[in-house]
Structure 1
Amino acid sequence: MEILLLGAALLLAFANGANDNFKGFATVWGADLLTYRQALALATGASLAGSLASLVLAQELVRRFSGKGLVPDAVAAAPDFVFAVALGAGLTVLVATRAGLPVSTTHALVGALVGAGAAAGGALNLTALMQGFLIPLLVSPLLAALLGWAAYRGVRRRHRVPDCACVTSAVTAEAGSALALLRPALSVMVDHAVNCPSGPGTVRVTVGGVAEGVHVLSAATICFARGVNDTPKLTALLVAGHLLGAGRSALAVGAVMAVGGVLFARRVAETMSRRVTRMDADQGLAANLVSAGLVLFASKLGVPVSTTHVSVGSIAGVGAGAIDWAVMRGVLLSWVATLPLAAACAWAAAVAV
């Protein structure tokens, strides 16, 4: 059973990486600031760093996703229960990844906890289920969409003020002798970028260039936050199964998530970056700032929000006027199906073992 449990837990980590690793850089690739390979490399590195940081920043999530408090402690500690949870959630996320649908590993884990708990005959703590899991998962994408809409309007205002500083050097001639005296002169101009001169001797610093750098940094912050938020949820399975300690579990989960992302992130990346809505750099920056802030804040408090739900919600909020509703309906339906599908898979796995 230990080998099966380890395999199921790492399968879930692999599926999580394939579905989630790229999500922070979806807006960067969607705005064509980086190539897919460049974005994937940065996303993988930031997610791995977040996995390591989770040992310090998100210990409460390890306890919450062990199942304790949701089902009786005796059930939560049983290897069969942990195996069923890992396998049910892992299969659900793999199916969604194959279809290119950005689903929530958090949602899948909650469904799997419910399904495996029901199969084990333990009484579910419905109050803990609603307050500790379902309400945060339902509220977070709506809050992200609202904040994304507001943040984009704040970022967009920067176009109403000068956004370029130009420093131009020139050489002037002074009369007064047979040989003109030459002296350098500097001029500084602050205006909109289209009005700033360009050419030899001119140095231009634009707000847009700085904003692009901030956008990439915000994307890395989301991937870091995702690593902080998701790693403890998967680490909890290895710790509950008494397979590895928290430190080694976080290392193993982080490494396998990185491999899953490198190999199979492309389909979900296409959906989030190119298909949900069109976005420019300003919209992408606003969406990322909202996503990173919400996920890090929730991780610190031990609140189980979904990076997927928050990211898609913020992207939809900033690009509300250009949403492809056919694609968005498919994404929303996959969110609705995630919990019952994971519950059914976990229930079947628990019954089988």
Structure 2
Amino acid sequence: MVAAGLAGLLLAYSNGANDMLKGVATLIGSGTADLRRALGWAIATTLAGSTASIVLATGLAETFSGRGLVADAVASDPAFLLAVSLGAALTVLLATRFGLPVSTTHALAGSLVGAGLMATGGQIRWSSLAGSFVVPLVASPCLAISLTLALYPAILAIRRGLGVSGTDCVCIGPGTDTTIGASGGAAVVARTGAVIETGQIDECSERLGGGMVGLRASAAVNALHYLSGGAVSFARGLNDTPKMAAILLASRALAPEGGFALVAASMAAGGLLNARRVGETMATKITGMSPGQGLTANVVTAFLVILASRMGLPVSTTHVSVGALFGIGLLTRTARPGVIASILAAWVTTLPLGMACAAAAHGILRHIL
């Protein structure tokens, strides 16, 4: 059981290495943040999501325990648990080595099937697999692309209708003194309160003087972009932590709180040490993007992943976030087909590779454990 727990932590490490920068890749790609700052923000908000998952997303831990797919006795067998963890971890680490963003959820689903087939001689509840895994995983990128294609043009139309540009600002200036009357050599002066103006930053500065405090539209977009990146990373921690904690909980190696905490720490370590290759692919190789486009992709991703976590649906943060980037690329016609084709090929092979690795691992482990 200890070995199964350690393999579960290896899986969490591989998840951090492949997934940690996915929520903030748009910050890097749009030039809003550098790698170091974006990675720190991603780790902090992912850890917050992992903590929240203890309360908000425990249903996912049950989904990925293997119960319902195989018999309960098989789901708690050390060889089964170890094979599932090793199969999924090896699959994700291999993709990370080549800088390809793949789904840990897909790798886990494949590993559950591969180890389950070996452990039961083919006695798997296929209906459970289709309803709990296949439909959400296939639907999530399609939903992300569709929402992005609908949302970004709407935001762009609103911005153009209002005539807002990146150099516009909302500015607050000091009050002014105005003479309203004079009598017998004495003047009556009225002082207005703070003045709020909108317009170009240079125009506001000229009208309101040096005491002006203002917020540029571009700065507001950047702030929202940071928040959206944090929201995606929070959602990822919320959605992914229970999936890997399921292995530790099934092995009974730790109490639930301890299992979730160790998974979160392992994910953070994987992100800190090995997240750069996949992050570079998502930030710069799929499509070019502006801060506003990156913000739109993150809003779509955060919305779908948080909604799925609350519903106990195992959507892939990878498929959702990359799907949103595909949508941006389609809209702006800057998508790079060769990179997208490589990613899609990796997605198609993730589940069968996880199956093969887990089946091979179980075939060896059942003669050892």
Shorter-chain TM-score tier: over 0.9
Structure 2: which 5+ runs fail to align? Answer: none
Match of 1:292 in 2: 302
Shift of 1:153: 1.6
1:277 aligns with 2:272: no
Q: Deviations over 1:72-117 (max 9, x none)?
A: 2221111100100000000000000110000000000000000001
Match of 1:212 in 2: 222
Contact 1:71–1:122 (Cα < 8 Å) also in 2: no
Distance 2:33 2:188 in 1: 49
1:259 aligns with 2:259: no
Shift of 1:167: 4.0
1:249 aligns with 2:259: yes
Shift of 1:161: 1.2
Q: For 1:325, which of 337, 347, 369 is the aligned residue?
A: 337
Shift of 1:188: 4.5
Contact 1:161–1:192 (Cα < 8 Å) also in 2: no
Match of 1:166 in 2: 171
Match of 1:203 in 2: 213
Contact 1:162–1:193 (Cα < 8 Å) also in 2: no
Q: Structure 1 stretch 83-92 or stretch 71-80: which is displaced more?
A: 71-80
Instruction: Identify if the C-alpha distance between structure 1 residues 159 and 191 changes in structure 2 by more than 3 Å, giving closer, same or farther.
Output: farther
TM-score normalised to the size of structure 2? 0.89
* Aligned residue type for 1:189: E
After superposition, the CA RMSD in angstroms is: 2.3
Match of 2:356 in 1: 344
Counterpart of 1:322 in 2: which secondary structure? Answer: coil
1:127-206 paired onto structure 2 within 5 Å: 127-156=127-156, 157-163=158-164, 164-168=169-173, 188-191=196-199, 196-197=204-205, 200-206=210-216
Contact 1:144–1:314 (Cα < 8 Å) also in 2: yes
* Aligned residue type for 1:67: G
Kindly, what percent of the aligned residue pairs are identical? 46
Shift of 1:154: 2.5
Distance 1:147 1:171 in 2: 48
Match of 1:62 in 2: 61
TM-score normalised to the size of structure 1? 0.93
Counterpart of 1:166 in 2: which secondary structure? Answer: strand
Instruction: Identify if the C-alpha distance between structure 1 residues 291 and 167 changes in structure 2 by more than 3 Å, giving closer, same or farther.
Output: same
* Aligned residue type for 2:338: A
Shift of 1:343: 0.3
Shift of 1:242: 1.5
Q: Number of residue pairs matched?
A: 352
Distance 1:328 1:43 in 2: 24
Contact 1:170–1:201 (Cα < 8 Å) also in 2: no
Structure 1: which 5+ runs fail to align? Answer: none
